[in-house]
Structure 1
């Protein structure tokens, strides 16, 4: 696909860079927002071994593995997403946008130390009764081979007057069978630890005061941390490096928290959900299947 504007990065921007720029991003056209025709790329990027190890440790992956965790490339992709959404032609303010779904397809494992070419671009928008859902696609290649793909959808809250509420298309199994359970205890400072490692500067994860400024009662765990932590268990249970993993972010996890992961494997697929221990609230639901 041809894109009129290309952002080519020589290195990934720092979290501080994105934090400052995000603070000044504002809505410019909420009545009829149109996504710019553009993409962002970085060639020959080699993820830092320390960053990979820190990520693996925070999400529960093997810190001694010689391949990247299946969800780790999203940390690189997300910085390209930020560049696209912080561009002056993007019509929405980035602060307060919420990640609603994420799909990753890993065609083969990426070895630690391998150089990757990463490209991200807008893949469409959908107006709902809650606001505008913006989708970004990421492609990662090594040489000519497509090794990893991602599709992330973010929600920008906008006035809903006149927008009909519709049921979303169902992607997840309706009645998955869970046979495995594990409990996670999440500390209050999880967001402060994960944010710098994953390159996510959103202040709703920092602490109570910052989160309240955006309308939340307390600070939240990163949705992609929850997916990463679930993937660490589910991908190991699946037993296939080539895999597709899809999640829907249902309810925020307010920190600190004690939550449970339920999972079950059948016919080359592991279904899972992350739920509150004190009630039936589902925070995240998804599947991972072998390719």
Structure 2
């Protein structure tokens, strides 16, 4: 597919993103199949700043000796995701789009102070049993080399006859031997705190009233906070060279609340895990984390 590249420097302000989100609350009813937007949004030099990494680390529980968190570049790209979802070329209202899954791959070690070229584009439609899904691709380059990438799957519920390849990428999990290894107590203001770090001020995360408007009884935690917190609990010290993290988001986590990390008590560079309620009978996120042990 031929994309129209647009350089986004400087990035839009928080106020502009919120205004664009309000403007995109209503879209004309589709007549026929949705058309994939053709814009490729680019930020030419995004710094992996020590301050930004530290703020993100405190929000999710990463320690400095763990290096650049595997999930951190996603927050740098998120404003571009939001720009794509709120543009007139996107066929659905941005509100109500559900983040279903994320796949992250890091190809080279990332460093504080490093500048990345971030590219974001709508990659493909996916036919999901619950509606029309969309994969948004993020690619990060350093000196012309791809060093980090992710694919984020978003869902528009209740769309009849969705287009694209059928979704068949759900993560399996070996239930036998899974143990509760950590408990996390989540405060009521977690959504607001993570919003300041991530730039995701969706009212379902930051406001009880906003959450109720969209059908939730209380504010819910960000899915990407849940992934970040799970990786922080398992990412080894010394930083990562090559690594992958896959996650499927399940039931929402209501704030305040408490959840637990369940995983297999194994050694080595592979973790299969779930974030569940403390009792262990309701899954919030399922994940797989794999890394190369040849660390410096």
> Structure 1 pair 40/179, CA: closer, same or farther in 2 (3 Å)?
same
Structure 2 partner of 1:281: 282
Looking at structure 2, the residues matched to 152 and 134 of structure 1 have their Cα atoms a distance apart, in angstroms, of 8
Pairing 1:10-29 to 2, within 5 Å after superposition? 10-25=9-24, 26-29=26-29
Structure 2 partner of 1:97: 97
> Structure 1 pair 268/51, CA: closer, same or farther in 2 (3 Å)?
closer
Structure 2 partner of 1:150: 150
1:203 aligns with 2:203: yes
Looking at structure 1, the residues matched to 53 and 91 of structure 2 have their Cα atoms a distance apart, in angstroms, of 33
Q: Could you list the per-position Cα deviations for residues 29-53 of structure 1 after superposition, in whole angstroms to 9, with x for gaps in the alignment?
A: 4452221122111111114432221
CA RMSD in angstroms, aligned pairs only? 2.4
* Contact kept in structure 2, 1:11 and 1:45, CA below 8 Å: no
Q: Per-residue deviation at 1:169?
A: 4.3
1:56 aligns with 2:63: no
TM-score (normalised: structure 1)? 0.90
* Contact kept in structure 2, 1:15 and 1:200, CA below 8 Å: no
Q: Per-residue deviation at 1:170?
A: 3.9
Across the two proteins, how many residue pairs are aligned to each other?
A: 287
Looking at structure 2, the residues matched to 143 and 162 of structure 1 have their Cα atoms a distance apart, in angstroms, of 39
Q: Per-residue deviation at 1:65?
A: 4.3
Q: Could you list the per-position Cα deviations for residues 199-251 of structure 1 after superposition, in whole angstroms to 9, with x for gaps in the alignment?
A: 11211001211001111111100000000000111222898542110000011
> Structure 1 pair 170/194, CA: closer, same or farther in 2 (3 Å)?
closer
Using the TM superposition, name which of 31-40 and 149-158 deviates more. Answer: 31-40
* Contact kept in structure 2, 1:70 and 1:109, CA below 8 Å: no
Q: Per-residue deviation at 1:259?
A: 0.6
* Contact kept in structure 1, 2:46 and 2:76, CA below 8 Å: no
> Structure 1 pair 132/266, CA: closer, same or farther in 2 (3 Å)?
farther
Looking at structure 2, the residues matched to 45 and 32 of structure 1 have their Cα atoms a distance apart, in angstroms, of 35
Looking at structure 2, the residues matched to 148 and 17 of structure 1 have their Cα atoms a distance apart, in angstroms, of 27
* Contact kept in structure 2, 1:172 and 1:286, CA below 8 Å: no
Using the TM superposition, name which of 6-15 and 246-255 deviates more. Answer: 6-15
Pairing 1:161-180 to 2, within 5 Å after superposition? 168-175=168-175, 177-179=177-179
Q: Per-residue deviation at 1:75?
A: 0.4
- SS for the counterpart of 1:235 is coil
Looking at structure 1, the residues matched to 173 and 279 of structure 2 have their Cα atoms a distance apart, in angstroms, of 24
Looking at structure 2, the residues matched to 199 and 57 of structure 1 have their Cα atoms a distance apart, in angstroms, of 15
* Contact kept in structure 2, 1:275 and 1:281, CA below 8 Å: yes
Query: Structure 1 stretches of 5 or more lacking a match?
Result: none
Looking at structure 2, the residues matched to 221 and 114 of structure 1 have their Cα atoms a distance apart, in angstroms, of 30
TM-score (normalised: structure 2)? 0.89
